[in-house]
Structure formats: C-alpha cells, structure tokens
C-alpha cells in the first residue's frame, strides 16, 4: 500500500504477524508438517514486542486441548504448566463489603476449572509464548522480535502478498534520523495475521475484504491485570476465584479474576466490557477500588504488586466472528475473535485456529500453490473443529450479559449452559462498543477513592510497572483522523472519555497558556491495549505500530 520508499525485500513461504499463542502454534504446526514431509519451508514470524512474550497479557487458566495435539509431549519439553487448577470459587459482590459465594452447582458449566476429564493450569501466557517461541525456533522457524508489521503488501489482483516492517529511526516530524533504516518487504505466499485482539492490520483486512459482513458488530473487553507477590501462608497454588457485581452497576459489565499461580504469586484482574455507557467511568479506577473488597483484599494484603498491564479482549464470540479467509492469507486467534468468553479462555481456541490455518496453508503449498489464493478449505476445516463447536455452544453468553445484566444474564447463561450448551435461542447484541456511550451530562459523575498505595495505586506508578517505553523522538503512533474532534466534540459531549478509558495515562486534557483546553497524547506510556481505537465515540483514533521493540515489557504476565 505504500510504494514511495525503496525497500529491500525477502521471500518466505509463510509470514506470520505476531508471536502470540495462535501465531506460534501455526508456526510450529507448519514446520512439523514440513519436517515430517521432508519439505523445505520458510516460515517467518514478526513480533513488535522487544522479545517473544513482551506484549502478551492474559489471565490465565489454560486448557491444554490444543497443546496436547500440537506437542503431546509438552511436559517433557518443559512447558511452563506446573500449577494445576485445584479449586474454583465464584462470587457475586453485593457492595463494598458483602459478597455471595455461588454454590458450585449454580456455576455455569463453562466456568468450571476443576473436575471433568481434563486438568487446567494456572499459567502466564507470556511464559507459555516464550516457551512456544523456543519450540518454533528449534523446528526451524525464523522469529524476529522488535520488528513490527506496519503495512500489508497487496498484489495487482488484490491478494495479500506479505507485509512491510516498520521504518526505524524516524524522528517526530517523520524525517529520517542518523541510523534511519527503512522497513523491509517480507513477501510470502501466504500471510497469517495473528496480532491478537483488534490488531491494526487485522482491522484493515476486515474492512478491506468485508470480512464482518453479516456478522454482529464485534465486542470487546478491556482486561487489566496485576501480578502480586503474597505472603507464603496465604498462598494456595491452583486456587481460582472469579466474580462480578460491585463496583460495577447494571450498565457496566465485567468480571474479575484472582488466580494463585506458582512462586507465591497471585494474578488479579478485571475484564471490563467496553460496552459501558457512562463516559465518567474509568476501568482502571474500577479495578483499583475493586481490590479493596474483602473477598479480594484478603488474598492481597501484606503482598506487593510487581507487575501491571492491560490489553483489550475480543469477546464477541460466535455471532461476531468474521470470515477468516481472504486472498493470500488468514486471520487467526484473537485477531479474528476466537476467544470463548463463557470460559474466559482464548488461548486454546486461538492455538487451534492457528493449527488449522497451518494445516490448510501447508496443504496448499504441498499442492504447489503459488500463493495469493483464498484458502476456503480453512473455513470447512475450522467449522469441523472442536474449537468452533465450543464457540457455537456459548454464542449467547456475552449478549445475554449485555441484554439482561450480570444477574439475570448470568442466570440465562446458567440455564443455557446447564442444558448442555447452546439450546436456548441465540441472542444478538448489535450496538458497537463505541456507540454505547451516553452524553456525560446524562450520566452520574463517578468519584473514585484515592488509592491507598497498598492495595490500590495511581495510574503513573502502575504504568511504570508495565516496563513500557517508546523512543521519544518518533512519530506519534496514535493517529487522529481529525485533530479537532477531542476538544471540539468529545470534550463537551463526553468529557473526553479517553482520559479515563486509557489504562496507561496516554491521553490528557490540559490547559494551554490562555486557559484553553488542549488534547495531549503521551504516546510513550502506551501499553498497546487498543482500547482507544475501540472505544473513542467518534472512532477518530487509529492505533498504528510504533517503532519496533517499543511498548510494554511484561514479565510473567
């Protein structure tokens, strides 16, 4: 799509964008097949994070089904799955002090993490990806961390033919600095887009190829997560808590999690539906005050927070899942939206989508495909997979919550899931998240309590723990289609919600010398969560890739 710059070019059979669960599973599966067929295959993975895992953030309780298929001997290979889920608790928080613990029998089937025929593991998705990256490299995959896919290469027939990596060494005005290095063309017969939730190229592909035609608008959550060291006597490896209710109300949905992992660590987080209506709401501050509830606080008190991060979650599920094929490539994992929100799990389905993609692409290449074709065989294969069946079963889970609220919706889900899944009529939610906001004047302003510095913290010290960094002298990677909108439209109508929905303090409204409001973007703070690109009521903010290697450096997230 950009052609002005003279660029070097390299050719691969397959280029994969993003070293996450789906991209790496695809890379491994491709190479496994090539190796067993004794066929030369060049597979390259580009990753915008400074290393594999640097940008990965997830709960996570992990189901091994896809991994069992990919590496049946994953235990022997040292996969970082060492903490089996041992106990499930589900709470409905009534108010700041009270909570109701749901009896196990009333917990929706999908939300069970213990029992049944399989073991789930409390793990760090980042570490899982680090391990998958090692497996992929050992199989012969070339992984390039620190290189962001900035653009898509399309041929004259409109087929995708690879990607262009981002330019390095460009100053804030777009001029080359010393050491300027133009991005490269990475040409491929097939390109797999696995950028995770709301990827910037995935978003373009969905528009370009109308992949979402006939689907409900996609829905997102914002996941905020912290990692805590807690006293050893409070630690119960494998204990899993989920809950909802306070401090969110009936117009703002979300759920929290608190998992006991290994090494006396606890991961705690809030998934805030981005369909919330009140522009005064701040997901970050909801999360901070939520931790003061006794049900959560009792696990955290006496502990120390060691990491913080945030990432959007593509949670629309079955009804919103776009077509995943287009000429020359596939959209996989959360970039498409394969997460099973009923289970609050997406790693296993993302991996499965990557593996199905790998099998389809390999078949095509084995049949001497020159690339650039639309691999319709994928759709067929995918729709026969257990992952697809799982998504179909929980199709109404999210819409029920949106439509009926957490309590009644939860009951609907309970009955629906108890009946065996997907027996009640399929529900749809057709309001996109960015259109859900009501004018600020019609909503109650929310006064959040000051953080106490023990259980709750300010945004600054939180962003600090994400280890995020961007070279300062580079173009801002948060593009405003119309720079006037934030102050002219959003501020009077919605009190510029970016200031509050951004979990990293990127956006500020400040006064200039004449006391006039100004919109400021501190892009250096950005943790690449994509919430602004999703929630801005004017859809005026476009997230693009900053210089490769920038962004958070999450350890163990």
Partner 1 sequence: MSILVLADHQDGELDGVTAHVVAAAQAIGGDIELLVAGDNVDAVAEAAAKLDGVSKVRVADSRVFAHQLAEPLSELLAMLADDYSHVLAAASTNGKNALPRVAALKDVAQISDIIAVESADTFKRPIYAGNAIATVQSSDALKIITVRATGFEPVAEGGSASIEVVEQSIDNSISAFVKESLAESDRPELGAARAVVSGGRGMGSADNFKLLDGIADKLGAAIGASRAAVDSGFVPNDMQVGQTGKIVAPDLYVAVGISGAIQHLAGMKDAKVIVAINKDEDAPIFQVADYGLVADLFEAVPELEQKL
Partner 2 sequence: MKILVAIKRVIDYNVKIRVKPDQSDVDLTNVKMAMNPFCEIAVEEAVRLKEKGIASEVVAVTVGPKAAQEQLRTSLALGADRGIHVQADERVESLGAAKALAKVVEEEQPELILLGKQAIDTDNNQTGQMLAALTGRPQGTFASEITVEDGKLQVTREIDGGLQTLELTLPAVVTADLRLNEPRYAKLPDVMKAKKKPLDVKTPEELGIDVASKLALIKVEPPAERKGGIRVSSVDELVDKLQNEAKVIS
CA distance 21 to 352: 9
Cβ–Cβ < 8 Å for 329, 376: no
Among 92, 96, 119, 144, binds partner 2 (CB under 8 A): 144
φ, ψ of residue 344 to 5 degrees: the values are 55, 40
The interface partner of residue 130, options being partner 1, partner 2, none and the CB cut-off 5 to 8 Å by kind, is partner 2
Q: Residue 51: name its binding partner from partner 2, partner 1, none (Cβ under 5 to 8 Å by kind).
A: partner 2
Q: Which does 513 bind (CB under 5 to 8 A by kind): partner 1, partner 2, none?
A: partner 1
> Is 500 an interacting residue with respect to partner 1 (CB under 8 A)?
no
Q: Which does residue 459 bind out of partner 1, partner 2, none, counting CB within 5 to 8 angstroms by kind?
A: partner 1
- Our CB check for partner 2 shows the closer of 453 and 515 to be 453
Q: Are strands 325-326 and 329-331 parallel, antiparallel or unpaired?
A: antiparallel
Chosen residue from 524, 538, 544, 555 binding partner 1 by CB under 8 A: 524
Among positions 168, 296, 320, 330, the unique one binding partner 2 when judged by CB under 8 A: 168
Strand extents, DSSP E, 1-42? 9-17
Tell me how far, at minimum, the Cβ of 151 lies from partner 1, in Å.
26
CB 269 within 8 A of CB 254: no
Q: How many CB atoms lie within 10 A of CB 235?
A: 18
Which of 42/360 has CB closer to partner 2?
A: 42
Distance between CA atoms of 209 and 192, rounded to whole angstroms?
Answer: 15
Scanning 268-276, 401-409, 460-468, 507-515 for contacts with partner 2 by CB under 8 A, the matching segment is 460-468
Residue 523 CA to residue 417 CA, distance in Å, equals 43
Question: Which residue from 114, 379, 469, 524 is in contact with partner 2, where contact means CB under 8 A?
Answer: 469
Residue 460 binds what, of partner 2, partner 1, none (CB under 5 to 8 Å, by partner type)? partner 1
Q: Which does 473 bind (CB under 5 to 8 A by kind): partner 2, partner 1, none?
A: partner 1
For partner 2, the closer of residues 130 and 343 by Cβ is 130
Tell me if residue 218 falls in helix, strand or coil. coil
Does 178 bind partner 2 (CB under 8 A)? Our answer is yes
Q: Which position among 5, 94, 449, 464 is part of the footprint of partner 1 (CB under 8 A)?
A: 464
Return d(Cα 266, Cα 228) in angstroms, integer. Answer: 5
> What's the closest the beta carbon of residue 177 comes to partner 2, in angstroms?
9
459 sits near partner 1 (criterion: CB under 8 A): yes
* Residue appearing with tokens 């390999």: 362
Per partner kind, with CB cut-offs from 5 to 8 A, the member of partner 2, partner 1, none near residue 126 is partner 2
> Does residue 193 have a cis peptide bond before it, meaning omega lies within 30 degrees of 0?
no
| Residues whose CB falls within 8 Å of the CB of residue 526, separated by 6 or more in sequence, listed in order | 468, 470, 477, 478, 504, 506, 546, 551
Contacts to partner 2 from residues 209-238, by CB under 8 A: 229
Closest separation in Å from C-beta 485 to partner 1: 20
Angular region, 505: left φ>0, alpha ψ -120 to 50, beta rest: left
Minimum Å gap between C-beta 10 and partner 2 is: 6
CA distance between the termini of the chain: 35
- In whole angstroms, give the CA distance from residue 344 to residue 313: 10
CA-nearest of 310, 309, 317 to 344 is: 317
Q: Which residues have a Cβ under 8 Å from the Cβ of 478 and sit 6 or more positions away?
A: 506, 521, 523, 526, 532, 541, 542, 543, 544
Angle at 207 between CA 204 and CA 208, to 5 degrees: 80
Question: Of 58-66, 257-265, 322-330, 471-479, which part binds partner 1 (CB under 8 A)?
Answer: 471-479
Window 250 to 269, contacts with partner 2 (CB under 8 A)? 263-264
Q: Determine the 3-state secondary structure of 171 from DSSP.
A: coil
What's the min distance (Å) between Cβ of 436 and partner 1?
Answer: 27
83 binds partner 2 (CB under 8 A): no
Other CB atoms within 10 Å distance of the CB of residue 493: 17
By CB under 8 A, name the one of 469, 489, 509, 538 that touches partner 1: 469
Least distance in angstroms from the C-beta of 506 to partner 2: 17
Q: Does 442 bind partner 1 (CB under 8 A)?
A: no
Q: Which residue has the tokens 């805030």?
A: 272
Alpha helices by DSSP H, listed for 143-265, are: 200-208
Site for partner 1 in 170-199 (CB under 8 A): 172
Q: How far is the CB of 524 from partner 1 (least distance, A)?
A: 5
Give the start-end residues of each E strand in 172-303.
Answer: 176-181, 185-193, 220-229, 239-245, 254-260, 265-273
Chain positions contacting partner 1, by CB under 8 A:
172, 459-460, 463-464, 468-473, 505, 508, 510, 513, 520, 522, 524-525
Chain positions contacting partner 2, by CB under 8 A:
8, 10, 50-51, 53-54, 124, 126-127, 130, 142, 144, 147, 165, 168-169, 178-179, 181, 184, 186, 229, 263-264, 306, 464-465, 467-469, 553, 555-556
């Amino acid at each position: 799509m950009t052609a002005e710059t003279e660029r070097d070019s390299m050719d691969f059979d397959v280029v994969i964008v993003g070293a996450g669960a789906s991209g790496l599973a695809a890379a491994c599966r491709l190479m496994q097949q090539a190796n067993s067929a004794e066929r030369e295959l060049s597979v390259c993975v580009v990753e915008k994070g400074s290393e594999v895992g640097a940008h990965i953030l997830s709960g996570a309780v992990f189901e091994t089904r896809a991994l069992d298929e990919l590496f049946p001997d994953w235990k022997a290979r040292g996969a970082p799955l060492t903490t089996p889920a041992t106990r499930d608790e589900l709470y409905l928080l009534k108010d700041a002090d009270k909570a109701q613990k749901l009896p196990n029998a009333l917990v929706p089937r999908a939300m069970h993490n213990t029992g049944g025929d399989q073991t789930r593991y409390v793990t760090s998705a980042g570490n899982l990806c680090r391990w998958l990256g090692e497996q992929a490299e050992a199989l012969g995959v070339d992984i390039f961390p620190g290189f962001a896919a900035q653009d898509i290469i399309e041929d004259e027939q409109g087929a995708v033919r690879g990607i262009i990596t981002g330019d390095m060494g460009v100053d804030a005005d777009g001029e080359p600095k010393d050491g300027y290095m133009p991005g490269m063309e990475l040409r491929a017969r097939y390109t797999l887009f696995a950028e995770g939730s709301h990827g910037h190229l995935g978003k373009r592909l969905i528009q370009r190829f109308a992949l979402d035609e006939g689907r409900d608008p996609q829905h997102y959550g914002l996941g905020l997560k912290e990692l805590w060291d807690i006293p050893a006597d409070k630690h119960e490896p494998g204990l899993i808590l989920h809950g909802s209710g306070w401090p969110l109300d009936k117009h703002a949905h979300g759920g929290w999690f608190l998992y006991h992992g290994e090494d006396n660590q606890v991961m705690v987080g809030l998934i805030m539906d981005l369909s919330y209506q009140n522009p005064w709401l701040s997901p970050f501050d909801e999360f901070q005050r939520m931790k003061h509830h006794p049900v959560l606080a009792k696990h955290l008190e006496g502990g120390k927070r060691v990491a913080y991060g945030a990432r959007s979650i593509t949670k629309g599920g079955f009804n919103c899942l776009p077509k995943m094929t287009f000429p020359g490539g596939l959209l996989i994992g959360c970039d498409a939206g394969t997460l099973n929100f009923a289970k609050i799990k997406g790693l296993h389905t993302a991996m499965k989508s990557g593996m199905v993609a790998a099998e389809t692409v390999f078949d095509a290449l084995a049949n001497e495909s020159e690339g650039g074709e639309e691999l319709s065989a994928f759709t067929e294969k995918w729709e026969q997979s257990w992952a697809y069946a799982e998504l179909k079963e929980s199709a109404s889970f999210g819409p029920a919550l949106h439509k009926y609220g957490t309590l009644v919706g939860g009951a609907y889900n309970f009955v629906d899931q108890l009946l065996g899944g997907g027996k009640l009529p399929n529900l749809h939610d057709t309001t996109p998240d960015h259109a859900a906001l009501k004018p600020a004047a019609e909503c109650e302003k929310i006064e959040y309590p000051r953080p106490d510095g023990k259980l709750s913290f300010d945004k600054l010290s939180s962003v600090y723990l994400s280890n995020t960094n961007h070279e300062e002298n580079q173009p801002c990677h948060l593009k405003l289609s119309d720079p006037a909108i934030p102050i002219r439209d959003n501020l009077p109508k919605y009190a510029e919600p970016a200031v509050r929905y951004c979990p990293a303090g990127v956006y500020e409204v400040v006064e200039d010398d004449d006391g006039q409001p100004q919109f400021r973007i501190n892009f250096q703070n950005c943790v690449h969560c994509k919430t602004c690109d999703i929630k801005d009521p004017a859809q005026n903010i476009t997230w693009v890739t900053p210089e490769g290697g920038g962004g958070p450096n999450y350890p163990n997230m």
